[in-house]
Amino acid sequence: MQLKDLAYYVALTEQKNFSLVATQFHVSQPTISAAIRRLETELQTQLLIRDNPHQPLVLTTTGQQVRDHAKLILHQANLMHLEVQHSEQQRLVIGMPPIIEITYLPRVARQLPPKIFKQLAPISQGSLAALKSLKSGQFDVAFLGYLDALAEPALTIERFDRQPFSIIVARDHPLASQPEIAFQTLRQTPFIALKHNFVHRQAFQQLARQNHIQPPILFESNEIQGVLNMVANQVGIALLSNAVPIDKTALVRIPLSDTPAPMFNVGLAYRQDTTFSPVQQQLLTQIRTAFGLQN
C-alpha cells in the first residue's frame, strides 16, 4: 500500500471528482483511477459507487472506513517526517503567541542558558493557529492561551498562569474613572480587537453572547501593541487579559463585573506521542523549569 494512493483516495472522497483530484496532484486522471483500483484489489473491497458519471461519487461502507483510516495514516506519516526533520536539525520548533513574547518570555529569559536561544525555532502565531500547527506537527511544542480546559486528549497541556480580562481605555476616556464595568453597558461602544486567531477574540464573543449584544468592532489587528496604540488615541476601547502590560500613564484597566467572566489561561503544550531527541528533551526540560512546570 502506497501513501500516495491513500492521499489520492482521501482527496477523491472530499472532491468527488477524478479530474479535480488529478489537477490537484498534477497527474493524469488514469493515474488516480489506477490508484483506486490498487487499493480495492489489495483490500478486496469496492470503495466507490460510480454507476452514473453525471452524479457525485458515493462511498461504500468500507469506502468510508478506508477514508477514515487513510486520514489517520497520512497524518501520522506527516508527523513522522516533521519530527525526524526537526530532530535531525537538533532544534525545537515552538509556537509562540505574541503575548508570550511580550509578557512571559522576558520574565524568565535570564533563567535560560544563552545557547538555548540558538536551538529554539520560535514561530509567532495566535493561540488558535498555534494549536492547529502543533496538532499537524509543524510545531514540536507550543505556548497556548485558552479560556476553558482544552478537549485535546492527544496533547499534554501544562498551565502556568491564569488571568482575568479587563476593559482597556485611554486615561482621558469618559469611562476611565469607573471602578468596574459590565460588558452589557458597552453595546454601542466601538472596540479595537485582536483578530479571530487569538483567544482574546473568543473571550469577546463569549461575553457578547452571554449578554445578547454585539458591540461594534471598529478595527482588527494581529498586533497587541497596535491595539493598545489605537486605544491610547481614543479610537476605541479593548478587551484584553491582565497578562498584557499597559502604559499606565496613557491607559486605564477597568475590571469586568460580569459573572461568570472568561479567564485567560496560559500553558505549554506538546503531543503525547512525540518522541523527543535527547537535545530536544533537554531544551523542553529547561523551558519547563524556567516556567515553573518541573515536578
Which positions ≥6 away from 120 have C-beta within 8 Å?
Answer: 91, 92, 94, 283
* Fold of the 3-87 domain: Arc Repressor Mutant, subunit A (1.10.10)
- Per-residue model confidence (pLDDT) at position 255: 97
Residue 91 has which C-alpha cell?
A: 532544534
pLDDT tens, residue by residue, 126-138: 888 899 999 988 8
CATH of domain 90-160+265-290: 3.40.190.10
Per CATH, the number for 163-263 is: 3.40.190.290
Angle between helices 29-43 and 61-88 (to 10 degrees): 100
**pLDDT of res. 111:** 86
Alpha carbon distances (Å) from 120 to 64, 254, 284, 289: 41, 37, 10, 16
* Residue 142: predicted pLDDT: 95
Residue 197 has a pLDDT of 83
Q: What confidence score (pLDDT) does residue 294 get?
A: 72
- Across 228-243, average pLDDT: 96
Res. 53: pLDDT tops 70: no
Q: Output phi, psi for 193, to 5 deg.
A: -130, 155
Query: CATH 1.10.10.10 spans which residues of the chain?
Result: 3-87
Average pLDDT taken over every residue of the chain: 91
Q: Count Cβ atoms within 10 A of the Cβ of residue 55 and give its class: 0-12 exposed, 13-18 middle, 19 or more buried.
A: exposed
What is the location of CATH 3.40.190.290 in the chain? 163-263
Q: What is the pLDDT of residues 249-281, one digit of tens each?
A: 999 999 999 999 999 999 999 999 888 989 899
Please say if the pLDDT value at position 159 is more than 90.
yes
Mean per-residue pLDDT, 13-32: 91
Pairing of strands 120-123, 92-95: parallel
Average of pLDDT values for 194-208?
Answer: 93
